[in-house]
Structures are given as structure tokens and as C-alpha cells.
Amino acid sequence: MPRDVRVATTAVERRAPVVAAVPGTGRTGRLALGAAVTAIYVFLLAPVAIIVFSSFNPTEANTFPPTGLSLRWYAKFFESAGFVAAFRFSLWLALVAAVAATAIGFLTAYGLVRCWRRGPGVVQSLAMLPMMVPHLLISISLLLALMVVPVPELAALIVGHVLICLPFAIACIVASLEGIDAQLELAALTLGASRLRALWEVVIPLVAPGFLSALLFTFMVSFGDVYIALFLSGPGRTTLPIEIFAYMQWESTPVVAAITTVQILLIIGLGLVIERLVGLRNIMRV
């Protein structure tokens, strides 16, 4: 889909979200803000950067800066059946959860944006319910439910992940849908399309960026989840974070750092793919 489609998404005038260069700020103000923002980014990324660097540490200590350069911990990671299996499982789970959450999220978002204009606030807030409940609670409750209802644990794990991912999917798709002129669907109807056809031909192509961002966010949320998996993991069903958590109870070597670096490479890879497809700018509209 061509990039300039984004520009012409609506016939209705959209207000520009961006003001040319931070306005109304003098030289010092701008410098101060720039410094503050840089400092905050350092705060945000430093621990991650440290992990990446310490993954190359030849010794077992958790020191930074690393005393040398070695790939032994990466080797250890790939050799470890447990970690590799957990990594693959996390990937698979995140994919499943992302797709499911995006699908249900789309249905919900469409219902909210097109059919619930009267009271969007309340109903939309209800859709965000899982965000307002500690994940811990969701997890324990599902575990409890498992004792009462005979459902495979894997299903409960997936459901748990879908639950915590849904609010993100909904937010992304609602943001995207709101930018689409409602009249486009009406036009398609008057031209002879059924409601479903109109959805397929008009809405879905235009919500594509929303879908992508929903998939991206939900994938990340699911992959990084600890609390749901804490109670619902099991033999053969361990996610990577849980595997790391267990490992860290006994040992604390830079293997963890190596695994994290691989994860980070994965995210960067995802980010690059999205940039190529739709452009990161267009995704980050939550």
C-alpha cells in the first residue's frame, strides 16, 4: 500500500498533531528541555544498554563495564535446551495472543467507534478493564477457575495473555478507526456493497496501520509478561521470562544478559520491518 495513502486517509480535515519545532520556547528553555529529555532517555535505556554490554562479559560476574569481550554466554543460551524451548514457546504464545487480541480488538473497536457514539466514555473504559486489574489477580483467578472447570492449562495461559493484550489492541485500532471518514462506508453501501463487503473493501485496508500497531504492541506485551505466566506456566509450557526468573533464583550469570540482547535484536528487527511496511510514524498514534 503506497505511503501517501496515509496523507489522504480522510476527506475531513484533521488537525495536525505536530507543531513546527517546540514553539514558544526560548533558547534556554529549549536547551533545558532537550537536556531533560536526553537524561530521561538515558534513564530509560541505560539498564538495557548495560545488559547488552554485560552480555559480552567473559567472566561470570555481573560487572559493568565488562572486562573483556566474549560470546560464551550466547553459546550457553543456544546450547541450553530449556532456554531455547522457552524462547520458542514465548514467540509462539505471543503470536497467538497478538492475533487473537487484534481480532477481538477489531470487533470491539468497530462496535465502539461506529455504534456507540452516545456513551463512548463508559463503554470504552469497560473495554479497558484488564488494565485496571493487577495482572497477578487475573492470573490467580484463572488458576482458580482451572480447578473448577476442566480446561487445558495452555488455554488458560493463552486466554490470560489475550486479556492483558486486549486493551492495547483496542486502543490502537480505535485510534486508527477514528481517523477514517464514516462516510466512506456509507458510500460503499450506496454503490451496492453489503455491510461486510464494505468492511472488507474500505475499512480493513484503511485500518491496516492500526492492525499492525495492535499486533506489535500485543506481541510485545505478551512476550514480556511475567505475572500471567507465573501461575499458569507448566512443564513444556514455560515462557522465557519465567525460565529466566527460575534461573535467577539459583544462579546469576550473564546468560540472562545474552538472552535479553537476543530479545532486543528481535524487537529491533520487528521495528525495522514495520518501518519498511508502513513507517513507524504512522504506527505510533496511540
Partner 1 sequence: MAKTILELQGVVKRYGATLGVGPVDVDVREGEFLTLLGPSGCGKTTTLHVVAGLLFPDQGRVVLGARDITRLDPQNRDMGLVFQNYALFPHKTVFDNVAFGLRMRRTPRAEIAGRVRRVLDMVGLPGVEARLPGQLSGGQRQRVALARALVIEPTVLLLDEPLSNLDAVLRKRMRLDLRELQQHLGIATIFVTHDQDEAFEISDRVVLLNRGRVEQVGTPEELYDDPATRFAAEFIGETNLIEGVVAAAAGAIVTVDTSVGARYEAFAPGRSLRGGDPVYVMIRPERIDLVPERPAGGVAMPATVSKRVFAGDVITFELRTEHGLLLRCSKPSVAEYRALAPGAPVWAVVRDCRALPRDGDGEA
Partner 2 sequence: MATERREVVEAGGRSGRLWLAPIALLYLIALIAPISFFLVMSVFRYSALELWVPTVTGENFARLLGDAYHRAIIVRTLKIALLTTIGCLALGYPLAWYLARTASAWRGLLMFLVIAPLMTGVIVRTYGWIVLLGSEGTINTILRGLGLVDRPLKILHTELAVLIALVHILLPYMVFPLFAALAGQDPDLERAAHTLGAGRARTFLEVTLPLSRPGILMGSALVFTLTAGAVVTPALMGGKDVRMLGQTIYELTMSTLNWPLASAVAFVLVLCQFAILLVYFRSGRRRAA
Site for partner 2 in 154-193 (CB under 8 A): 159-160, 162-163, 166, 175, 182-183, 185-186, 189
Residue 93 near partner 2 by CB under 8 A: no
Q: Which is nearer to partner 2, 78 or 116 (CB)?
A: 116
Element spanning 212, H or E: helix 204-224
147: CB partners within 8 A, 6+ apart: none
Q: Which of 7, 18, 69, 147 binds partner 1 (CB under 8 A)?
A: 7
User: What's the Cα-to-Cα distance from 43 to each of 36, 47, 162, 272, rounded to whole Å?
Assistant: 10, 8, 30, 24
27 contact choice in partner 2, partner 1, none (CB below 5 to 8 Å, kind-dependent): none
- Cα distance between residue 181 and residue 76, in whole Å: 53
Binding to partner 2 (CB under 8 A) within 245-284 occurs at: 245, 248, 252, 256-257, 259-260, 263-264, 267-268, 271, 275, 279-284
Three cell numbers written together for 195: 455491510
Phi-psi region of 115 (alpha: psi -120 to 50; beta: other; left: phi over 0): alpha
Q: Which of 98, 169, 174, 202 binds partner 1 (CB under 8 A)?
A: 202
In contact, 215 and 98? CB cutoff 8 Å: yes
Q: Which is nearer to partner 2, 1 or 286 (CB)?
A: 286
111: CB partners within 8 A, 6+ apart: none
Q: Which of 1, 42, 75, 107 binds partner 2 (CB under 8 A)?
A: 107
- Least distance from partner 1 to the Cβ atom of residue 200, Å: 12
Residue 14 near partner 1 by CB under 8 A: no
Residue 1 near partner 1 by CB under 8 A: yes
Helix residue spans in 149-203 (DSSP H)? 153-178, 182-190, 195-198
In contact, 184 and 127? CB cutoff 8 Å: no
The contact mask relative to partner 1 for 155-194 (x = CB under 8 A, - = no) is --------------------------x-xx-xxxxxxxxx
Count the site residues for partner 2 by CB under 8 A.
Answer: 111
3-state class of 134 per DSSP?
coil
Binding site for partner 1 (CB under 8 A): 1-2, 4-5, 7-12, 181, 183-184, 186-194, 197, 201-202, 205-206
